[in-house]
Amino acid sequence: MSYTLHRGDALTVLKALPDECIDAVITDPPYNSGGRTSSERTSRTARAKYTSGDAAHDLANFPGENRDQRSYRSWLTELLTEAYRAATEHSVAMVFTDWRQEPTTSDALQMAGWTWTGTIPWIKPASRPRKGGFKQSSEFILWGVKGTLNKDRDLYLPGHFIASQPRKGRVHITQKPVEVMQQLVRICPEGGTVLDPFTGSGSTGVAALRERRNFVGVELSPHYADVADGRLRRELTQDDFVLAGPEA
Amino acid sequence: MSYTLHRGDALTVLKALPDECIDAVITDPPYNSGGRTSSERTSRTARAKYTSGDAAHDLANFPGENRDQRSYRSWLTELLTEAYRAATEHSVAMVFTDWRQEPTTSDALQMAGWTWTGTIPWIKPASRPRKGGFKQSSEFILWGVKGTLNKDRDLYLPGHFIASQPRKGRVHITQKPVEVMQQLVRICPEGGTVLDPFTGSGSTGVAALRERRNFVGVELSPHYADVADGRLRRELTQDDFVLAGPEA
DNA sequence: GACTCGCATGAATCACGGC
DNA sequence: CGCCGTGATTCATGCGAGT
């Protein structure tokens, strides 16, 4: 098993990848920085502001208010289009999103050419309750296929995940539990290559290596690139150690 | 506690409701999904689409599963707009959907004026596995508010549900577990009124009455209107019995 | 009665044949 | 050739029967 970690902008790096060199795309795009403004994060959503009257509204009539969402959509579409090009036939793309960006993410996924095939809830039991209503305890993983799903594989994967975010040893805000990622990377054939354009602290890569898949990652922040590189390298040497161990 | 069950078309009945007579809308519209091609979705009956060929049970078909996506959106928008008008300030609408119709449902909810506030996964553990990929084991409940959420209530509701469809005594293909519905109706203030424009076998109403909320339902199919009426009446007399019991 | 065993089922999904 | 409709297939789970 091996990994490659590119330091730089996801879109730029993806454009330089050759065609059909990837067997799965698993990623958590930064949906707070990829086009949404700070005002949208802190105040009510753009849509909410205009939906308090009692008439039905056509969302297409509010281009200004939707601009943040729309630019997120076009940016993600472009990124997923490049990923599509770099992916082999029957590849699967898995994209994390929160409930707010879920429709936009499904648009981007499909506009990029992937056939949307399902939505998998990831439930985080340790989330803050909400007074007066239902708490928001889940994220969603949208997945799509390039072409058709390979039905010859004897593979049956779960329809949901229940796992808390890692607590001890957590190095990234949105760090994913490795046990969840290990299930996800199994959608990639063994020995194939998993791409994560937003590597972050590298959990996708760690999971891929543990499940005997190769990994290609991209990370813009030098800090997290270092963190991910450290974790991935440790994973490989650990692996070597484990392999070497019994022989000693 | 009391209930009213209208027999007829949901939109027609809703248009006749007075303003601000409802405190919560909880419903599961017939969202024709289930199928790859449009014909698979629109031409087959619900029963043919959703039940196994060798199933021994004899559940009646239900109407309304013959819309394409665009007409589904405008139809649901109009319906939710009428519901919005009939709802009091701070009312909550909860709409069931599957992954395929989730973006469309969120559009309709918002276009009708509701402020989309979250998506709640309902996980059905007993669902068909899928060879070569992730199984589809959940439905989603989109919820929105008219105006703002009432934060004065000392109410903390779950962020997800895990429950199997009722198996014994089931009368409707898409019948919901009453224990789930009892959690949902709690979003309506006690003594308030819950509206379900697609009553089906009436689980929303049963849950509402059990949680001491009034219920207004609409059902087009005469068969299911009868079934729902029976269940609701039984609920009330049972309730009376329970109330009368200790006094005897 | 807790527990195992066996069997029917699923708001699915896919392949194939017909129009 | 593409769209349309029918039948076969899948296994984790829940329920009922039996120990």
Asked whether the beta carbons of B45 and B114 are under 8 A apart, the reply is no
Q: Is B142's pLDDT higher than 90?
A: yes
Task: Render pLDDT for B99-112 as a digit per residue (tens, 0 to 9).
Answer: 999 999 999 999 99
Asked whether the beta carbons of A23 and A88 are under 8 A apart, the reply is yes
Averaged pLDDT score across all residues of chain A: 85
Q: Report CB contact under 8 Å: B103, A99.
A: no
- A207-224 in b/e burial notation, b at 16+ Cβ within 10 A? bbbbbebbbbbbbbeeeb
Say which CATH number the domain at A27 has: 3.40.50.150
Q: Is B64's pLDDT higher than 80?
A: no
B121 neighbourhood in chain A, CB within 8 Å: 121, 123, 138, 140, 160
Asked whether the beta carbons of A62 and B115 are under 8 A apart, the reply is no
Q: Is A176's pLDDT higher than 90?
A: yes
- In DSSP terms, B141 is beta-bridged to B96, B120
Lowest mean pLDDT among A138-142, A153-157, A200-204, B117-121: A153-157
Domain count, chain B: 1
* Cα A99-A100-A101 angle, rounded to 5 deg: 95
Q: What is the pLDDT of residue B105?
A: 95
Helix, coil or strand: residue A138: strand
SS (H, E, C) A99-121: HHHHHHHHHHHHHCCCEEEEEEE
Name the residue of chain A whose CA is nearest to B146's CA.
A52
Lowest mean pLDDT among A97-111, A165-179, B13-27: A165-179
Q: What is the pLDDT of residue B246?
A: 36
Task: Render pLDDT for B78-95 as a digit per residue (tens, 0 to 9).
Answer: 999 999 999 999 999 999
Q: What is the spatial distance between Cα A172 and Cα A203, in angstroms, rounded to a whole number?
A: 10
Q: What is the pLDDT of residue A34?
A: 40
Higher pLDDT, A34 or A136: A136
Q: What is the pLDDT of residue B41?
A: 59
- DSSP assignment of B153-218, as one string? S--EE-S-EE-PPP-TT--STTPPPHHHHHHHHTTSPTT-EEEESS-TT-HHHHHHHHTT-EEEEE
- In DSSP terms, A133 is beta-bridged to B156
Mutate to test the interface with A, among B82, B142, B160 (most CBs of A within 10 A): B160
The reply to whether B126 has its C-beta less than 7 Å from any atom of strand D is yes
Asked whether the beta carbons of B46 and B200 are under 8 A apart, the reply is no
Q: Is B48's pLDDT higher than 80?
A: no
Q: Is A94's pLDDT higher than 70?
A: yes
User: Would you place residue A239 in the very low, low, confident or very high pLDDT band (cuts 50, 70, 90)?
Assistant: low
Q: Report CB contact under 8 Å: A138, B119.
A: yes
Helix, strand, coil proportions of chain A in percent (round to 5)?
40, 25, 40
Q: Which residue is nearest to nucleotide C12 (CA to C1')?
A: B128
Q: What is the pLDDT of residue A50?
A: 38
Q: Is A150's pLDDT higher than 70?
A: yes
- Tell me the residue range of the domain where A102 lies: 2-247
Q: What is the pLDDT of residue A61?
A: 43
Task: Render pLDDT for A11-59 as a digit per residue (tens, 0 to 9).
Answer: 999 999 999 999 999 999 997 644 334 444 444 443 444 343 333 444 4
Task: Render pLDDT for B37-46 as a digit per residue (tens, 0 to 9).
Answer: 455 555 567 7
Q: What is the pLDDT of residue A193?
A: 98
Averaged pLDDT score across all residues of chain B: 88
Q: What is the pLDDT of residue A63?
A: 45
